[in-house]
Chains A and B, each alone.
Chain A
Amino acid sequence: MEITFWGVRGSIPSPGPEFNRYGGNTPCVSVRTKRGSLVILDAGTGITVLGRSLMGSEFGNGAGQATLLLTHAHWDHIQGFPFFAPVFIPGNTFTIYGSSESPTMVEGILEGQMDPHFSPVHSLRNLGARIEVLAAQDGVSFDVGDLHITGRINPHGRYSALAYRLEEGDRSLVYAPDAGYPDGAPAPAVQEMYRGASILIHDCTYTPEDQDARRSRGQSSIADAARIAASCSVTTLVMFHYDQDYTDDQVDALRDRCRAILDAEPGGKDIKLVAAAEGLTLEL
């Protein structure tokens, strides 16, 4: 599979020259499988950039098909959706999975975003594309084309967020952008899901010091991410969801520090570390 980052920032987009290298768009990652299936992880403002690039493909003439996996409904993970150009093209088909007990609840969340007070779209029904909304439930697996997908719930402040594992043959990607572990470690079932992942994209919102000052926000530090990557024996850890105020130079420093923490963990030296940046593509 081919993994491309379109938005790597947490909370709110960060425009400005000091954010140009890593990018200021909120979370969106695309996954293209060997056989051509397209899965999109989250719909932060990064999805608007993905949307523009897709318009040059079959999505531009209404023959596109993709699956969108939402981890949760905080604004930074859905705010790009009404500006994702392919949803306005009749003929395109999108299957959206969100964290909930029922499809009706996920649909209600997206309808709320389109409410006429807030959006000129007025309703999901006015989007040209065919939209099917489904609930992704804790520990329940499903298949999208040649991908086998499982979602698991993580605590995220006083809310929760799904993490997803996507498997294609013996390759696996785990996407866990928002996770604050009150006990310092993920629940056993979540650790099981992270275990042995070829790539773990993990919440790295804060330095340990900034996390201490903002514990209630339910985000991980680089130290949490490094410890978990080592204890779950992943091959590559990808840092993701940087605080909106961290400049490019600060993210560079975050990466160096995360590398040092990884190196001190048992088995950590063998783990490859990547700091996610807009436009970066990883082949798996």
Chain B
Amino acid sequence: MPLLDIKNLVTAFHTPAGRVPAVDGVSLAIERGKTLGLVGESGCGKSVTAMSILRLVASPGVIESGEILLAKDGGSVDLTKLPEPDLRKIRGGRIGMIFQEPMTSLNPVFTIGDQIVEAVRLHKPVSREQARTKALEMLALVRLADPELRLDEYPHQLSGGMRQRVMIAMALACDPDLVIADEPTTALDVTIQAQILELLADLRRRLGTAILLITHDLGVVAETCDDVAVMYAGRIVERASAAELFAHPRHPYTIGLLAARPGPGGRHDGPLKTIPGMVPPPQHFPTGCRFHPRCAFARLPHCAEEAPSLRTVAAGHEARCHYADELSESDDLGEQRGAPA
């Protein structure tokens, strides 16, 4: 049984302009100790999916249906139905969180040490002294230089990379089974991003924590995740192991995203391959396959009328496309990738 099993999650925002289904039937499973990458562009619903797990979706957002099963004592609990006090124990306890902007997620008026101590004491019956020792241990674990000194500093005294290390230390302080990391390196420079990604990978190896990594950066996913789910317009459109997905993408959207980046050697292969049009806002998701208006392979009227289901296209590989089988090894695809060897 997976550690976390999301089944058919629907999270919608009820606005004056009507119901906006930001997450529309998402199913995901995360195994113990594994890293799952959830990728997609702005507005695809990846962050709302993550926020739904801990029921942190802000009003007017509502989880309308679906189950979020967290493994417990051989069975499981449904986080969507758990009473608030019980859920509060899980937030920051069995499930830790890391957000994109560490400056806004850390409280500016408390020291780093106080914040970690508070997090630990919320979830564990320990004294302040013991919690402080734990905090020190965590800061050393995330390889913050001079942890004793840092413990009494305020967030603004640290650099962006150091703040993100503190966030990771806090997320890990209560020995969580799962860490949800929402764009944890997006606000950081690449050399600092490399430090943080290496740290996360190392901690996962040592502590066996599962990670749900939410990002728009396919490169980050390729280098850190075991499995990948690609989201588009509120739905998962493709799912596979990272190795399989990047070697044999089967959904036209994934194919398009991979092809849109310049290949090695730069400029001489002509214009970049583009995905025409723009990401649709949730108020205006197209009918049928939601990607069809931008799809180079769409066949009309079929793709505009019938919504494809997420189905197996190869062992351990699912895609939400009527014609995924025909896209598999065609020459067209090689050309679409646009990356000469």
**A associates with B:** no
* A contact residues vs B (CB 8 Å cutoff): none
* B contact residues vs A (CB 8 Å cutoff): none
